[in-house]
Amino acid sequence: MSDIKDATTADTAPTPDDALRMADAAEKKGPVLAADGRPLKQSLNRALRLQKLRALALVAPLLIFVLVTFIAPIADMLFRSVENEIVSETLPKTTAALEDWDAEGDTIPDEAVFEALYDDMFFAQEAKLHSRLGSRLNYEQTGVSSLFRKTGRSVEDMGEVFQDQFEDLDDFWKTGENWTSFMASDEWLADIQAWDADSGDRQPRFELRDGIDDILPATAESYTRFANYVRTEDEDNVYTEDPWAVIYSSFYDDLTRADAAAIAAYSGPAAEQIKSAATAATGFETIDYSEAFLDIDEDWHSIDVWRTIKIYSPKFTNGYFLNAIDMQKSIDGPELRPENERIYGILFWRTMVMSITITLSCILLGYPVAWILANLPARNANLLLILVLLPFWTSLLVRTSAWKVMLQQQGVINDTLVWLGLVATDDRLVLINNQTGTIIAMTHILLPFMILPMYSVMQTIQPTYLRAAKSLGATNWTAFWRVYFPQSIPGIGAGSILVFILAIGYYITPEIVGGTSGTFISNRIAYHISSSLNWGLGAALGAILLAAVLLLYYAYDKIVGIDNVKLG
């Protein structure tokens, strides 16, 4: 009971929670009952519930705002670091066909894979998705970007050999109306003819005729993809749209591969045309897809390209994270990148070391200022405080550019040193475009974030403690070090956390004054987000940075204790 205080013994004002705690403690000795016979704890909880709900309702707007505008976008961005659906979505058939291919062997995939690739590429280039996938895979394998772009341009002509032969055979195969007459269900045909394009109603969703996918499975699949694309992307009428070349090649495959009995037994619409096409198709000129792709670009017979596609087939990948720690995926599992491409390890380490340096220099410079501020009469302190806050009212870019003018070799500081004769004119100090520049400029920019929490903590330290220490015989130093300093630590802690966390995420200042040796990991993140567009890698780097901060925060909590942090 000794740690429980009621209103009479507590050193703070009583709160409703005190009653709860009292009840909680009392329960150990058997439940205390309220007037209505219920346990006291329960009825207190009920009374408080409304209050808690009201409190929650009050913070709800901010909570929702933070969730929607802050947490959700960050979560979405971080999700991109593992998301890799683009490969299997753009090349669904190819990735499925590749599952049986042995990537560790030294033969390229067989004809079936190339045929699947033709189908996928055809639809991808119609939707203009192939080059997007090309740039995605180009992050892993140089040259894929142009390979996909080039292939997209030529793939349309590749299957025309079948289209021409079917159309030469019978004019029936030329028009969309004839195709839909046997591919689509009767309800859909009725719907689409009743549909008025100008009415603003949505075009009815394409429906396959029952059983047609048993007889012509590949055609049914291609036709459905085609119909969905025409309906949603082109917004043309599926009923009258003439089919694409890829449908003819699927049709040819079905006619030559499906079992002849099924086609012979078919009796739906256009049965006659299909049967005569099936007979004729056996004599058609055909193409070798593997060779056709080789004709477009010899890289299609390069095993590295196929390995890359296979490695990145799954919907999720750890590839971005591996890239972010200077590794790469290979057929034998993760491996280190070649030495001349390793960069992120160095940058992460540098970001940490420099942020700590900046935090320490902020403590060194900020502590005396905060001390003076806290010990001056209020009027003078306010004036000084305005000077501390002044940089906040100036644009970050202006301040950084001002440092450029100050620090450069023909700048103010060097000119002054030369004028004083401290530095020879041909041996001016290099203060910018290196780590020194970043540390100086960022210490200046982040200093207020250190001074303010220190100041508010120091203000609460009673000057009488110091006087008491001295009157008991302590020297100035002992009084400061043993009495004053320990009380100011919460301010240092709060300032350090603020400065450190701000510092590791900075990128504008290092970009301008950091040259090559003073840039941070954030500069690479910014590069990948806005320039190389490798958002997955940017997200992975960001996720690692976030994890590092959380880890340090946790360590800080364990070592110093987060309760020791005071912002005021």
Contacts with another protein, residue ranges (CB under 8 A): 127-129, 131-132, 134-135, 138-139, 142-146, 149, 340-343, 346-347, 350, 408-411, 433, 511, 515-517, 519, 524, 529-534
Report the nearest approach of another protein to the CB of residue 403 (Å): 14
- In order of 210, 378, 475, the CA distances from 545 in angstroms are 55, 41, 45
Report the nearest approach of another protein to the CB of residue 133 (Å): 10
**8 Å CB contact between 292 and 158:** yes
Running DSSP on this structure, what letter comes out for residue 28?
A: T
- 467, 466, 448, 468: which is closest to 456 by C-alpha? 448
Residue with smaller CB distance to another protein, 138 or 222: 138
Residue with smaller CB distance to another protein, 135 or 487: 135
Query: Is residue 211 helix, strand or coil?
Result: coil
Report the nearest approach of another protein to the CB of residue 502 (Å): 22
Report the nearest approach of another protein to the CB of residue 513 (Å): 11
What residues contact residue 110 under an 8 Å CB cut-off, 6+ apart? Answer: 101, 290
Report the nearest approach of another protein to the CB of residue 61 (Å): 23
Q: Secondary structure of 292-312 in the HEC alphabet?
A: HHHHHCHHHHCHHHHHHHHHC
Report the nearest approach of another protein to the CB of residue 524 (Å): 7
Tokens of 82: 């593992």
Tokens of 413: 């500081």
* Residue bearing tokens 């000129």: 285
Report the nearest approach of another protein to the CB of residue 55 (Å): 34
Query: Is residue 489 helix, strand or coil?
Result: helix
Residue with smaller CB distance to another protein, 231 or 350: 350
Residue with smaller CB distance to another protein, 210 or 341: 341
Residue with smaller CB distance to another protein, 134 or 366: 134
Query: Is residue 515 helix, strand or coil?
Result: coil
- 180, 176, 166: which is closest to 251 by C-alpha? 166
Residue with smaller CB distance to another protein, 146 or 175: 146
Report the nearest approach of another protein to the CB of residue 410 (Å): 5
Report the nearest approach of another protein to the CB of residue 425 (Å): 12
- 549, 386, 564, 555: which is closest to 491 by C-alpha? 564
CA distance 256 to 236: 31
Question: What DSSP assignment string belongs to 222-254?
Answer: HHHHHHHHIIIII---TTTPPPPHHHHHHHHHH
The residues pairing with 329 across neighbouring beta strands, listed in sequence order, are 334
Residue with smaller CB distance to another protein, 406 or 483: 406
Report the nearest approach of another protein to the CB of residue 343 (Å): 4
Residue with smaller CB distance to another protein, 346 or 551: 346
CA distance 282 to 7: 97
Report the nearest approach of another protein to the CB of residue 153 (Å): 11
Report the nearest approach of another protein to the CB of residue 533 (Å): 6
CA distance 349 to 363: 21
Tokens of 240: 């009258």
- In order of 12, 25, 31, 83, 509, the CA distances from 2 in angstroms are 16, 10, 19, 55, 55
Residue 244, Ramachandran bin (φ over 0: left; ψ between -120 and 50: alpha; else beta): beta
Report the nearest approach of another protein to the CB of residue 319 (Å): 13
CA distance 331 to 316: 17
Residue with smaller CB distance to another protein, 77 or 376: 77
**8 Å CB contact between 301 and 283:** no
Cα atoms found within 13 Å of the Cα of residue 450, Cβ hemisphere only: 25
Residue with smaller CB distance to another protein, 496 or 519: 519
Report the nearest approach of another protein to the CB of residue 503 (Å): 18
- In order of 135, 162, 231, 237, 502, the CA distances from 225 in angstroms are 24, 19, 10, 14, 49
Residue with smaller CB distance to another protein, 490 or 542: 542
CA distance 430 to 414: 9
Cα atoms found within 13 Å of the Cα of residue 265, Cβ hemisphere only: 10
CA distance 188 to 197: 15
Residue with smaller CB distance to another protein, 168 or 233: 233
**8 Å CB contact between 239 and 207:** no
Residue with smaller CB distance to another protein, 127 or 363: 127
Residue with smaller CB distance to another protein, 165 or 522: 522
